[in-house]
Chain A
Amino acid sequence: MFRKYRKKSPWILHYNAGSCNGCDIEILAALAPKYDLERFGVINTGNPKQSDIFLVTGPVTFRSRERLVELYTQMPEPKVVIALGSCTCTGGVFRDMYNVEDGIDRYIPVDVYVPGCAASPELLIDGVVKALEILEEKTKAIEKPFRLFKEASSENGIINRRHSALKVGEKDEED
């Protein structure tokens, strides 16, 4: 019944999974007066629990993998994922580097790929508009990320490191 209102009120969660900032700045620029994303009802909530669109930038570095998945699972359905920028879609210039994962779609299902390096606000708006179409079609069935990690364990040093990364899920067979 309320399906058609979904696309009028997309709230955004932004996560930077290791990008060069280029696209992130463009997100800010898109929120700024010239492009004014709020015209579409977009609010940058910064809170996964109240967001509909997961705007990811960056090719997924090793350390950001589990955060990516964690944030994704904290978002209520229906949700869409936008991969913003070439490096998010496919790894871009970082493709094949040893500490990146060649695009976020190896971890979570991506609905919209926005190319560009950096993706301009114009393309970002295109992406959001596309995402809204998809959002309207979505069911509330739960979408799972492709891979998960074990609980992080913490140490008291300056840097807390993840000790073990356990990969599970369908993608593993391919590797």
Chain B
Amino acid sequence: MSKKTIHIPLGSQHISLLEPVRFKFECENEKIVGVDSDVGFVHRGIERACTTKFKFDAIGYVVARVCGLCAITHSLSYTVAIEKLLGGEISKKAKYLRILLLELDRIHSHMLCLSHTCENAGFEAMFMRIMGDRELVMEIQELLTGNRIQFDYISIGGVNRDLDVQTAKKIIENLALVKAKVFSYIDEFTNNWSLSLKFKGIGALTLEDAYRFNAIGPLARACGLPIDVRNEIEYLPFDEVGFKMQTHNDGDINARNMVRLNEILNSLEMCENILRGLPEGEIFTKLKGKPKGEALMRFEAPRGELMYYVKGDGSAMLNRVRIKTPTFACIPAFSHIFMGEEYADAPAILASFDPCLSCTAK
């Protein structure tokens, strides 16, 4: 009897993908029994360009373009690493503003991920609903930074713009609206029968595997692995503004969604706290000198831990910028999850990882 498997490709161009990545599933009927992947489509050579093309002070804007979704985390991690090398302390207000934008970014990114997961699960209305509500966040981000996506808000020594009273008011208003919406999503995700068929028990990762594959971000937290860099670094005062770790135990798509939804709620709370307790002070401190030495900085991007390693020798050009991105670290876990699932679930599973290949390949 002849062999019965089919190859189903997903990508590099595919409607359920926003980014080029290629999976080739070996399927029995529609059950996935093997996965091949190619993640190198977006390799642009940013790490090299950071040491040859750009001076250290421009790199913050360049690394933001590693990825549009957590651009802010990239420029923040880089900037903080450089600040470490340069020495000198930046003002508390600037730090608070940095957290504010970081959390806003997390909110919009999580919302995008949730909506995209719904879209890939064939729930167009929910996609539209979340995307529609996400505009509330986009609006305040634009007010705050002047651009909807690439914020370019952080520069070495502080932030680029101050927060005026009106904007602050608007932010509080919109966030309150978003909060109400998030509760309605939680209701929908838990109670919609068709979504539970699509999400519950699908694409599950066990806690053991999460440890073994060093999973991070919502993917790991959904399995009950409490890893969140916000919990592991001192640099920004996350505790002060009310950070709480969100975990879940099932490890399936639904668990990831729940973790994201709860994180949005937590972020909303943090934003409120920040705006209420925003300290006075300068937003920018000029830092002098050229970076010399090694620094390693980690931050929690929406998709998990982002790490920058910077090495300078005292000139304007750096010696090495190493970017370890969240999705990159999760790829071994991804392939593992696909095995044994149905192809029909693959796009939704993929979207629920919230992968960002553009940072994976840099």
Question: Which residues of the partner chain B approach A92 to less than 8 Å between Cβ atoms?
Answer: 65
In this assembly, does A88 line the interface, its C-beta being within 8 Å of a C-beta of chain B?
no
User: Could you mark each residue 123-145 of chain B with 1 if its beta carbon is under 8 Å from any beta carbon of chain A, else 0?
Assistant: 00001100110110010000000
Least Cβ distance of A10 to chain B in Å? 16
In this assembly, does B236 line the interface, its C-beta being within 8 Å of a C-beta of chain A?
no
A→B interface (CB under 8 Å): 13-29, 31-34, 44-47, 58-59, 61-64, 67, 71, 87, 92-94, 96-100, 117-118, 120-121, 158-160
Cross-chain contact A19 with B358 (CB below 8 angstroms): yes
Question: How many interface residues does B have (CB within 8 Å)?
Answer: 47
Q: Which 7 A-B pairs have the closest CB atoms?
A: A46-B15, A22-B68, A32-B131, A118-B149, A33-B132, A21-B68, A24-B18
Docked Cα-Cα span, A25 to B15, in Å, equals 13
Docked Cα-Cα span, A96 to B40, in Å, equals 19
Cross-chain contact A97 with B71 (CB below 8 angstroms): no
Docked Cα-Cα span, A14 to B14, in Å, equals 9
Cross-chain contact B18 with A67 (CB below 8 angstroms): no
Question: Which residues of the partner chain A approach B358 to less than 8 Å between Cβ atoms?
Answer: 18-21
18 intermolecular pairs with C-beta atoms under 8 Å apart: A14-B18, A16-B20, A16-B42, A20-B65, A20-B66, A22-B68, A23-B68, A33-B131, A33-B135, A46-B15, A46-B16, A59-B44, A61-B41, A71-B13, A97-B44, A100-B44, A117-B150, A120-B148
Question: Which residues of the partner chain B approach A14 to less than 8 Å between Cβ atoms?
Answer: 15, 18
Question: Which residues of the partner chain B approach A18 to less than 8 Å between Cβ atoms?
Answer: 20, 41-44, 358
B→A interface (CB under 8 Å): 12-20, 36-38, 40-46, 48-49, 53, 61-62, 65-69, 71, 112, 115-116, 127-128, 131-132, 134-135, 138, 147-150, 356, 358, 361
Least Cβ distance of B60 to chain A in Å? 11
Question: Which residues of the partner chain A approach B49 to less than 8 Å between Cβ atoms?
Answer: 94, 96-98
Cross-chain contact A94 with B13 (CB below 8 angstroms): no
Least Cβ distance of B17 to chain A in Å? 8
Least Cβ distance of A165 to chain B in Å? 15
Question: Which residues of the partner chain B approach A121 to less than 8 Å between Cβ atoms?
Answer: 148
Docked Cα-Cα span, A34 to B15, in Å, equals 21
Question: Which residues of the partner chain B approach A16 to less than 8 Å between Cβ atoms?
Answer: 13, 17-20, 42
